Amino acid sequence: MSAPESPEPSHGRRVSLLTLGCARNEVDSEELAGRLSAGGWELTAEPEDSDVVVVNTCGFVESAKKDSVDTLLAASDTGAKVVAVGCMAERYGAELAEQLPEADAVLGFDHYPHLAERLGDIAEGRAVASHTPADRRTLLPISPVERPAAAEQVAVPGHAGWGPRVLRERLDDAPVAALKIASGCDRRCSFCAIPSFRGSFVSRHPDEIVAEAQWLATQGARELFLVSENSTSYGKDLGRELGGTRALELLLPRLAAVDGVDRVRVSYLQPAETRPDLVRVIATTPGVADYFDLSFQHSSESVLRRMRRFGSTDSFLALIDQIRTYAPEAGIRTNVIVGFPGETEDDVAELERFLTAARLDAVGVFGYSDEDGTEAESFDGKLDEDTIAERVGRISALVEELTTQRAEDRVGQTVEVLVENVGDEVTGRAAHQAPEVDGECLVLDAGTAKVGELLRCEVVDSAGVDLVVRPLETAGGLPGTAP
């Protein structure tokens, strides 16, 4: 979406942004920060010092919704005006506003282009009508190739446009930054409500992404974490002249070549759409992490069909074999849902067979729960809470054992670690470890290592999914601090 003209300044009012949920929300918050700064608002990290606190909520699962509500309530205790934005606000709108009078406004994605003005209204005591939810899939054409032009008229968070300046402001100085390549999803997984409030899939123009990557590099980002709801669909709406379904394969080398960027990481891959050429590019392109975040969700064919997904234990294992043919030590992670309606003990055993054979680096295990407005909400064959909890515990125990073994197998290997924290301990992440979800590396004998430095290290020990490493030399070939 094109950037709007800058609104009138808000006369130095102060605003803080609190972000919950995934990396996509982090990008959206930094876009909002850019919009608010351009509109004259002063950004502050302390809600207590703010005139307005904006909470970018998550509405994915019940625990995330509870965290969002708790954060809104805590923000109201500061005495500042409180505004809810983000997925939960978009999904529930006026209903949330009615149930949470502590929030002064609940604003949806359509408010984002003019958020500076709306906050000005709220700060001055003028009422702003809360968002009225609607199915955002109806806002863009059904045909993907018709969407880029139509998206210019639709508020798509994280697609704020580019030109003389990137409409984004970093909210931290971390050496890793999320970079949105697309928004929305065309899949119809029976358990997922995301497409209804995030909308149909729409890619960003590759030149726009590269321009933002270059800007992020000037802001200290050494690793770019590419995010979307479904990265394997990137480019299907862009046309052949921009690569079409091969657009991500063409984009990755361009991003890896950006001056100042040491590593590019792709997230949110759909197994059924992960093409052999994309596997090859991710696994073999210098500067692109050989890391595969694959959304398997389950491996029993019968459960996957009820989920409106595709695949099986054997097809998933074949994909993993393909990855490891190119990069034997590639990092592979996934999430799985257990206790889905109709799941049998045989289905759980099939999932156990897959996980045991797959040797994954990290696995998130979630118990099924109904989500408002999803197809699965009406399914029969619901399992009781005790059965779901038992299966979550069983699969989690298996996953802990398997991922611990996988980490142990890395002892003696050489990894490149991006330093992220320097203090009493020096920690960072190797190529197979994504931010926050996949473990980290404890760097021994780090000497004068600095945040943002890339260290070539030997793995000397492991602790669960975490690794203990010692520098051999920096990525640039300078002597390390190890004896």
Q: Give a three-class secondary structure readout of 216-268.
A: HHHCCCCEEEEECCCHHHCCCCCCHHHCHHHHHHHHHHHHHCCCCCCEEEECC
CA dist 405 → 28, 150, 333, 358, 466 (Å): 37, 49, 14, 12, 11
Other CB atoms within 10 Å distance of the CB of residue 79:
12
Q: Do 264 and 388 sit in the same domain of this protein?
A: yes
Q: Do 378 and 449 sit in the same domain of this protein?
A: no
Q: Is 22 annotated as a binding residue?
A: yes
Q: Which of 409, 431, 461 is the last residue of a domain?
A: 409
Q: Distance (Å, rounded) from C-alpha 209 to C-alpha 182?
A: 10
Decide: 374 and 191 in contact? Cβ < 8 Å.
yes
Q: Distance (Å, rounded) from C-alpha 259 to C-alpha 155?
A: 31
Q: Which of 90, 105, 133 is the last residue of a domain?
A: 133
Q: Do 324 and 388 sit in the same domain of this protein?
A: yes
Q: Do 291 and 425 sit in the same domain of this protein?
A: no
Count of structural domains, the chain: 3
Q: Do 41 and 156 sit in the same domain of this protein?
A: no
Q: Do 376 and 460 sit in the same domain of this protein?
A: no
pLDDT of residue 8: 45
2 belongs to a structural domain: no
DSSP state of 417: E
What CATH number does residue 444 fall under?
Answer: 2.40.50.140
Q: Is 189 annotated as a binding residue?
A: yes
Kindly list the averaged pLDDT for each block of 10 residues, start to end, along the chain of length 483: 42 86 91 93 91 90 82 90 92 90 93 94 92 91 88 82 73 95 95 93 94 96 96 94 94 98 97 96 97 97 97 98 97 98 98 98 96 94 97 98 97 97 95 92 94 97 97 57 36
3 belongs to a structural domain: no
214's enclosing H/E stretch is: helix 206-218
- Strand runs (DSSP E) across 324-389, as ranges? 331-338, 362-367
8 belongs to a structural domain: no
Decide: 159 and 151 in contact? Cβ < 8 Å.
yes
Q: Which of 81, 114, 133 is the last residue of a domain?
A: 133
79 - beta bridge partners?
none
Q: Is 58 annotated as a binding residue?
A: yes
pLDDT of residue 165: 66
Number of H helices, E strands in the chain: 14, 18
483 belongs to a structural domain: no
Q: Which domain holds residue 118?
A: 14-133
CA atoms within 13 A on the CB side of 320: 24
37 belongs to a structural domain: yes
Q: Do 274 and 152 sit in the same domain of this protein?
A: yes
Q: Do 401 and 419 sit in the same domain of this protein?
A: no
Q: Do 102 and 170 sit in the same domain of this protein?
A: no
Q: Do 128 and 44 sit in the same domain of this protein?
A: yes
Q: Do 71 and 90 sit in the same domain of this protein?
A: yes
What CATH number does residue 99 fall under?
Answer: 3.40.50.12160
Q: What is the pTM of this model?
A: 0.91
237 belongs to a structural domain: yes
Q: Do 431 and 405 sit in the same domain of this protein?
A: no
478 belongs to a structural domain: no
Q: Is 441 annotated as a binding residue?
A: no
1 belongs to a structural domain: no
